[in-house]
């Protein structure tokens, strides 16, 4: 997998607390229909880590977008090549396909348009912007397609 992304937006202390609480709620089955708890093994420790994510479903495909850039979950997912999505008692394992740069503008636009409340602050373009404005942003946002395991 590609590890050329250098951008990482560190969450604030408040965001870390919120993610922990929200992750717990999603893990027990509460939350929006598009929120899941992403579980991935640590690339060094082997420990299971989890974080809440917004899953983009588009044209029958599922995509993970990292709005904060090359986060720890992205690095761990690259190393593992797979992730598990959890919601309540349901767990699904997926292999990852790194989305090519030429495919990313449309996915990034769809992601921002769908989840603008949660992620607008991580994008330098506004939700609803034309797809062409996302071309220059692709290097800053890792995107994975989820493939059934």
Q: What is the mean pLDDT of residues 85-96?
A: 96
Indicate the pLDDT class of residue 4, thresholds 50, 70 and 90.
very low
Strand-pairing partners, residue 36, are: 53
Where do we find the tokens 């790194």?
Answer: 98
Domains of the chain and CATH, by start? 13-148 (2.30.110.10)
Answer for the pair 53, 83: CB distance below 8 angstroms, yes or no.
no
- In percent, how much of the chain has pLDDT > 90? 79
Instruction: Specify the 3-state DSSP secondary structure of 109.
Output: helix
Indicate the pLDDT class of residue 3, thresholds 50, 70 and 90.
very low
d(CA 118, CA 113): 10
Answer for the pair 68, 140: CB distance below 8 angstroms, yes or no.
no
Tokens at 143, concatenated:
């995107």
Q: What is the mean pLDDT of residues 111-127?
A: 96
State the pLDDT at residue 2: 44
0.95 surpassed by pTM: no
């Amino acid at each position: 997998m590609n590890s050329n992304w250098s951008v990482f937006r560190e969450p604030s202390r408040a965001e870390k607390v919120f993610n922990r609480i929200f992750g717990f709620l999603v893990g027990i089955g509460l939350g929006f229909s598009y929120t899941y708890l992403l579980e991935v093994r640590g690339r060094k420790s082997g420990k299971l880590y989890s974080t809440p994510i917004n899953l983009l479903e588009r044209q029958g495909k599922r995509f993970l977008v990292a709005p904060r850039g090359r986060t720890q979950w992205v690095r761990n997912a690259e190393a593992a090549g797979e992730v598990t999505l959890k919601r309540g008692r349901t767990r699904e394992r997926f292999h990852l396909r790194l989305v090519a740069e030429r495919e990313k503008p449309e996915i990034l636009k769809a992601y921002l348009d769908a989840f603008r409340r949660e992620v607008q602050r991580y994008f330098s373009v506004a939700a609803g912007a034309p797809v062409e404005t996302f071309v220059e942003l692709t290097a800053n946002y890792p995107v994975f397609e989820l493939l059934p395991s």
